[in-house]
Every structure is written in structure tokens, then in C-alpha cells.
Amino acid sequence: MNETKQEEILSGRGVKSSQGVLYGIGCGIGGSIFILLGDAIRIAGPGVLISLLLGGILIFFTALNYAELSTSLPIAGGAYNFSKEGLGGFLAFIIGFFLWIANIASCSFSAQIFALLFDEVFKKFGISVISPFTAPIAIIAIIFTSVVIFRAQHIAIKALIYLTISLIGILGFFIVCGLIISPIIRPPTYNPEFLLSGTDFFSVISIFSLLFICYTSITSNLAYLSVNLKNPSKSIPRIYMLAILIALGIYLLVTVVVLINIGNDASTLNDSPILLGNILMNILGPFGMIGFFIMALAILISTLIAINASLGSGVSIITALARDRYLPAKIKEKKKVSNFPPIALIITVIIVSIFTFFAEIGLTAETVSFIFFFGLATVNYAAVKLRRKRKSLDRPFKAPFFPFLPILISILFLFFSLFLSLTAILLGFIISIVGVTYYLLTITDRHSVRLTLAGIKISLILILAIFIWLINNFSIINPSMVLLNRILILICIFNIGLLVFDVISLREMVYYFVKKVDKQVVAINLGKAQIIELGKKKSKILLFVTSLLISLELIFIVVNFFIILIILNDIVVIQEISLGATLIPQLASKFIFSGLLIFLEFTMIFSSILMWFNYKESKSY
């Protein structure tokens, strides 16, 4: 690390350990526990306590690796920087991109809860006018928070800490009322026996995958804050551990209060953000409305904290990507007055607003968990690689049980990601495609891009062909499905024919054969290089053939897009596939088939773009 960077880091260290712990707790609590707890209890019952405990244990062990990496690499960029140092290159960019999108989705999720709170509070009083405007309200909250961050970043961090103290106080009041006052007053909904009701393993695991979002922001945002902490070698491990343990304790106590105060029937619970408000209202009796508004205030505070923290982390990551030249350098430029990169903030806010407008809140929550599962799995693996790659690196704190613990945690994260909804998994894959495509088209050389896209395309075509064969031979199909399969076979055959042009442009191929047939077209010899004059007629024919091939590819892209819509909207239903004792359920068949088509769609789009660029940029030689 050079002296300038070291001085820059040390000069910014002004956050105390106690403030760091409060920052981590505030970022962790966010709004997730308020809106997800109802659905979680409805599905898993008291097993939700096991889900929360399991999440706390996994994030605690992950935090051990984060603590080692944060003390060893005190550079802005958080978890992305860990991946860059441990893995480097393509994987570093993809993890940085993933974590940036994860913070965007997390910010969107918190903003949606913020807007939904207003909707639910107004509905409480019989007013439903807010419902159509929840997305605009959420976007306004995002823009307002971004302005505060840009104008006064140091004030925003201090405000977040004070808000966290208020939030902990309110939740403490809720816990005291639920565990002490409720057993004395015994409201109609008081039912401690519900804690002993049954649950099942699959529900516990699936709810764990959903509720893991309650913990993701603790490690990611503390990694972002670590460059500002005083005495980092001692304070960082302590802050990670305390923030996670306190947040876990709060989650478990709040959940116990809810479980013993929801009555006998949890089937009516949903993703309402005012669940805790309703429970406190029942406990306080004649003072119930005061309790309701106190909990509404807690939700308001927690969502603003989460929006603030997620935006800050997202901007930190995209700035670090620009610093490492994965993105344009203009993005990392800071204003002298605020010492904050405005372009990075504007880009992040725009993407968050788009995500907020189009994504449903449940999908947003699962998408955050899915991306963080992969991101955290990679960061744990990066810790292993970095320990072996840079043995001489100063490590004030070392994570225990190396390398077995980080490898085990990485495997578990990947395993648990499979228990999320198919839609969230599909969206995660689409996001990864976007990241990979950006990297291929902007960072790697053009020849590598051609070869990569050609390899991806042939692999997808082969897998899709196998799946079409399975559908035709081991599933119940109707005439519409037969027609779709035949169209897809035609698309696959055409794209196989285009594979050669994905690697070598049509112009280069024509030059080669023209030079072999008629050596007089070689105008100038430059050693091994040659300048060839084709003439206007041959050039026009070449342009016509290239345009024809690209036009046909665009037609097939449109056709494939409509086939995807037909499959996703169940206009044509794919039945379950039975291979002897092996059964692929209908929903899984639909997911695999549509996923392959979406992958193929993106590949065809980019290969057609590359084909045109290859034609335009090929020079006579």
C-alpha cells in the first residue's frame, strides 16, 4: 500500500467502536424483520426462531473472515475489495457488480417498506388513497436520502447512529411489554403455548433463506465503514461480533414476543409491516394507539437507516470499481465541498428507482438474499485464496479454523440459495448475465469476446436441444408445444450456422477467399499484411449478406422473446418430465426451459451486435 493511500485512510478514521457497533445494528435491523416476520411465522411457526438462529450463526462465522479481511485490507470498497485482492480479474468485477446490485435491491426493499407503511397506516383508518402511489413515495424517500448523503455525509452517519439508539429503545420497550406486561395483563391474543407448536425442517430452511436478509447488511455495511474506524486492528473484530450478537438477540426476543401474542391461529399473518404495531396495540389496551404509532415510528426510522446505509455502500462499491478501471474513471470523481462522488450516487439512485418501480417487495427481498448468498460465498472463498496468495500480508486478526470454516460456509451459502423462489433465482441469473456481458464487451479484447459468446451459444444450443428431446420423448405434449419446439429447433440450426461468423467476421472470410482466387486484388504488400481492394460491387454484396444474416437473427430474437412470454405466462404449459424413477416437476421444467431461452435470447442479441461491429471495424488487409 503506498504512503498516499495509507495517509488518506488514517486521516479518515474518526468513528469510535461504540458508534461502529450501533451503525452495524442499525444497518442490520433495517425494515426486514418488520415485514417478513408475519409470513415467516405463518409458514414455519415457532421454527422461525431456529431460522433466525441459524442465520445468526452463519453470519457470525462469515464476520470472522470479514474481520480478518477488513483489518488486513483497510481500503474503501468493502467486500468487493476483498474479492479483488483474493481473486482478481473477472471474478473480482463480477462480485463487485453483484454486491452493488445487492445494495441496490436492499435499498429498494427498504424504500418499499417505507412506502407500504404509509399505505397500511392510512388503511388502518379506512383511507385507501395511498395504495396507487406506493412506488412514487418509495422513490421520493430514496431521492431525499441521497440528497442528504451528498450534501452532508458526515452528518448522515451521525444521524444514523442517533436513529439507531432510538430504534433500539423502541424495540426494547416492545420486548418489555411483550415479555413482562403481557403475561400480567393477559390480552385475548396472549398464547405462550404457541411456542411449543410444531414445525418442519423444510419450512425452517426455506424461511432461513428468506430471513437471511436481516443479517446481510451488517457485514456489508461494516466493511464499508471499516476504513473510518479508530484503532481498526482491535476495534473491527469486536464491532463485527457485538453488532451481530446484539442484532441476533433483538431478533430472537422480538420474535418470541410476537409468537406468544398472536393467538392460536397464525394462518392469517402476511407481509404487513404493522404486525408489531398491532401486537403492541393489543398489549397496551386503552393506550394501544400510542403503542401502534410508536412501532410505526420504529419502522420509519429503520427503513431510513437502511436506505441511507445501502446507498452509501452501493456508491462505495461502484466508486471502487471505477477506481480499478472496471468502470469509467469519471464515476469516481468527488466534489470538493462534499467529498462525495455525485455521478456514482446519481447512477445508483437511478437504478434503485427503476428497481423499486418495477419489482414486487417479496421478489426484492428474495433477490437480495440470493445475490448476497453468492456474494458472501465468494468473499469467504476469497479469504482462503488471499491467505495462501499473500502470506506476508499483515493480519492483526486471523479467523479460526482456516481453511475449513470459510469453505464450509461458502458451500452452505450456495446450498441455501436453492431454497428461494424460482423467480428470484432466475432474476439473479439474469443479473449475472448482464454483469458478464458488460465485462466481455467493455473490458476484454474483441477476439476473446467472440470466442466466449460462441462458446456460450453452442453450449446453450446443445443443452436446449437435449431438453427439447426430453420434452418430446418423456413428457405429455400438446400440438402447441410441438410447434414451439420445431420453431426452436429452427432457431438453433440457424445459430449453429452463424457460429463461424461469431468468431470470424464475414468480411475477413471474403478477403481470405478473394485473395486465394485472384491475387491481383492485393493492392499493397506490407510483409505478412496486405491491403485488398474488393471494389464497390463486391462490397455491396458483402453488406447485403451481412445485413440479411443480422436481419434473420433479429427475427429469431423476436420470435424467441414471444416464446419466452408464452411459456412464462402458461399459455403453453410444459408438463412434468419422467425419466424412469427420475421426475422433473412441472414448475422446475418451466423454470429450466424458460431460463435456457432467456440465456439464448441475450446471447443472440449480443452476437448480432458483435457481428455488425465486426463488419464495420474490419479493415482491408
Helices (H), 270-360: 275-284, 288-323, 342-358
- Give me the half-sphere count of Cα atoms (radius 13 Å) on the Cβ side of residue 179: 13
Mean pLDDT by 10 residues, the chain (621 residues): 38 73 88 88 91 94 88 74 78 87 91 89 77 85 82 69 92 94 86 83 86 88 78 85 94 94 79 87 89 92 89 88 88 76 90 87 85 87 84 82 88 86 74 77 67 78 86 84 90 85 61 53 45 60 78 90 87 81 73 81 80 60 40
Is domain 15-422 in CATH 1.20.1740.10, yes or no? yes
Give the pLDDT confidence score for residue 297 in this predicted structure.
93
Quick one: pLDDT at residue 52? 94
Full 3-state SS string of 170-181: HHHHHHHHHHHH
pLDDT at 80 (0 to 100)? 80
Comparing CA positions, the residue from 374, 372, 307 lying closest to residue 345 is 307
User: 48-72 vs 213-225: helix axis angle to the nearest 10?
Assistant: 20
Contact present, 211 and 48 (Cβ < 8 Å) = yes
Q: Please tell me the distance from the alpha carbon of residue 320 to that of residue 314, in angstroms, as a whole number.
A: 10
CA-to-CA separations, 216 to 59, 323, 373, 419, 567, in angstroms, rounded: 8, 25, 9, 17, 34
d(CA 230, CA 4): 18
Q: Are 356 and 108 in contact (CB under 8 A)?
A: yes
285 burial type by CB count under 10 A (0-12 exposed, 13-18 middle, 19+ buried): exposed
Give 577's strand partners: 475, 584
Dmax (CA) of the chain: 103
Distance of CA 554 to the CA centre of its chain: 30
312/537 Cα distance (integer angstroms): 58
Strand partners, 584: 577
Would you list the domain boundaries of the chain? 15-422, 445-617
The pLDDT value given to residue 611: 74
Q: Which three cell numbers stand for residue 507?
A: 468480411
Question: Cα-flanking dihedrals φ and ψ of residue 339, to 5°?
Answer: 55, 40
Interatomic CA distance for residues 508 and 615, integer angstroms: 8
Distance, in Å, from the CA atom of 60 to the CA atom of 242, rounded to the nearest integer, reads 10
| 146: amino acid identity, one letter | S
- What number of residues does the chain have? 621
